[in-house]
Structure 1
Amino acid sequence: MSLNSDTDSVFSHDIFSTCFHHVTIKMQGNADYFITSGDKIRFFFEKGVFDDKGEFIVPKQRSLNKVGHALHAYEPLYKKVTHSPRIQGIAKKLGLVHPVILQSMFIFKQPGIGGEVTAHQDATFLYTEPLGRVMGLWIALEDATVNNGCLWFIPGSHNSGISRRMVRTPPGTFPLTDFIGQEQAHDDEKFVLAPVKKGGVVLIHGEVVHRSAENTSEDSRHVYTFHIMESQDTRWSPDNWLQPTEELPFPPLYTK
């Protein structure tokens, strides 16, 4: 992945955890590095890739959890894919009038150590009024199987709203984000497996409950994913961790 002058390519030992029970500095590494990444390209490592001295204990090329959150704005390849006629066509078929791009990520799901993503709803983190205006597009760059950590969903769960939100805390407070509301317990037997072949696209409703398991296989599960929002008659919460900036307002999906 090449980086141009508009990206923030500073590497640090920032570990990204996909366990959503609580947010601490141990989970997000430098919390400021995470919360200010919405208009930048930044790098987040898997847990367990460093020893006590901060040295790699796995090959560097297998150390990253993800890259985010503005690939769609600064990397030509991902910008092209995000605004491609096929993606725009999907949005138009769904009746989206003024969709904008919120964030984008390359998720590695490294072989042997790719972390679990616990059950969650995207609207917990990307909250709108009214709800139902956010959708994830999840593009499989490799086969996503039960062995390497494909997605699982609870069918119909998008009809039940959300039980909690992650919000920014007041300035000068740590941690920089907190949860309001109660985490909901989910019956494992309700989850349905959703394997996807390389090149397949999964559309993820902002309120559907989904998760993925650890990757204990020898195969990676690379994904490019991004979220869009129907901006017409929609209020983006100022309490969300992710905020548009002067440098990068949420760009429109439709381009000429």
Structure 2
Amino acid sequence: MAVAQPLEYLSQEQIDKFYRDGYLIIPGFLSHDQTNSLLLRAKELLDEFTPEDHPLTKFTTSDEDHIGDNYFLNSGDKIRYFLDEDAVDSSGKLTRDKAKAVNKIGHALHELDPVYRNVTLENDRLKALARDLRFHHDPVALQSMVIFKQSQTGGAVPEHNDSTFLYTSPPSALGFWIALEKCTPTNGALSFLPGSHLTTPITKRFVRLPGGGTGFEQLATPPPPSSEISEKPSDNASEGNYVLEVCEPGDLVLIHGSVLHKSERNTSPHTRFAYTFHMIDSSPYVEYDEKNWLQPTNDMPFSRILDVPNLSTAVH
């Protein structure tokens, strides 16, 4: 029998809370200087955006009208810009200043931008957290984004779970969401349904359609919730009550791929910038197939997180 390794960064209480609730807030995961560097770099990237050189691809979370052009589908090994739904008018012109029109930048910041790479792939604290959590056997990072929820115009993101969009068999998505600015009830802080990862199976997946573009495919036999622990979901989950979680700059939110979460529109005078990236387990522990919208390339395979390929215990 393998001997469990001692914890390096997380406490057992934090680990238990993550597996019970499906998410965990880690205050001050990034230092003040690290957070400011990411925020400054995000603003520099906005300044570098030239609408004349990019298709004005809008990002939407609607099931009926999702993005699926080549600019989006081929962004896994590039840094590309995606606009708010109402940032482009019927004639194809921006409705506001370019810096306030961008919804997100993705999807290979963690590989291609040195500032973001430093806190993602070259972060010893992150590696220790991954070893402590034991969520994956051999985790890989497959996408990263800076998300801009602009003052007054940043739209709501409806209830969803991440494994629908980053599907593996069995489900293994894990989100890392880092606040770059203060997140409040009025500027779009995240809300979670605690324990929903234990009760909500993944019923559909976001795929490349055979005829082009993207859509949702219903799963014939939805896999059970990916956590095998017998913890009872929190009372909030059984009552259907979402919990809004405010965050300070530098706070990390760990997000189980099956937990339901959402955010409301930014109605405040303050922006809400965040950096997020996702990990999945790697083959042979899970299958990640060619139906997924995001595909690795020969030049940029998914990024290994840990130097040691196997952990001491199995995935929960």
Q: TM-score range by the shorter chain?
A: 0.7 to 0.9
**Larger fraction in helix:** 2
Distance in 1 separating the partners of 2:295 and 2:83 = 23
1:244 aligns with 2:296: yes
Do the aligned residues in 2 keep the contact of 1:102 with 1:227 (CA within 8 Å)? yes
Give the unaligned 5+ runs of structure 1. Answer: 4-8
SS of 1:235's partner is coil
Residue 208 of structure 1: aligned partner: 259
Distance in 2 separating the partners of 1:188 and 1:114 = 29
Residue 11 of structure 1: aligned partner: 54
Distance in 2 separating the partners of 1:175 and 1:80 = 33
More displaced 10-residue stretch of structure 1: 121-130 or 69-78: 121-130
Q: 2:268 aligns with which of 212, 217, 233?
A: 217
* TM norm structure 1: 0.86
Residue 71 of structure 1: aligned partner: 109
1:90 aligns with 2:129: yes
How far off is 1:238 after superposition? 2.5
- Deviation per residue, 1:173-193 (Å, 9 max, x gap): 1443333259xxx99952111
Q: How does 1:67-146 map to 2 (within 5 A)?
A: 67-83=105-121, 84-95=123-134, 96-131=136-171, 133-146=172-185
Distance in 2 separating the partners of 1:17 and 1:207 = 20
The number of residue pairs the alignment matches comes to 240
SS of 2:272's partner is coil
Q: Which has the larger radius of gyration?
A: 2
Distance in 1 separating the partners of 2:207 and 2:89 = 32
Give the unaligned 5+ runs of structure 2. Answer: 1-40, 46-50, 221-236, 309-316
How far off is 1:247 after superposition? 2.1
Q: 2:189 aligns with which of 136, 143, 150?
A: 150
Distance in 2 separating the partners of 1:165 and 1:11 = 28
Pairwise CA RMSD of aligned residues? Answer: 2.4
Residue 311 of structure 2: aligned partner: none
Residue 38 of structure 1: aligned partner: 76
Distance in 1 separating the partners of 2:176 and 2:145 = 11
Cα distance change on mapping 1:31 and 1:220 into 2, 3 Å? same
Which amino acid in 2 is paired with 1:218? Answer: P
Distance in 1 separating the partners of 2:191 and 2:102 = 22
Distance in 2 separating the partners of 1:74 and 1:44 = 17
- Deviation per residue, 1:12-69 (Å, 9 max, x gap): 21111122x22x3xx42x6221111111111001122233333333222111000001
Which amino acid in 1 is paired with 2:272? Answer: R
Cα distance change on mapping 1:120 and 1:187 into 2, 3 Å? farther
Residue 163 of structure 1: aligned partner: 203
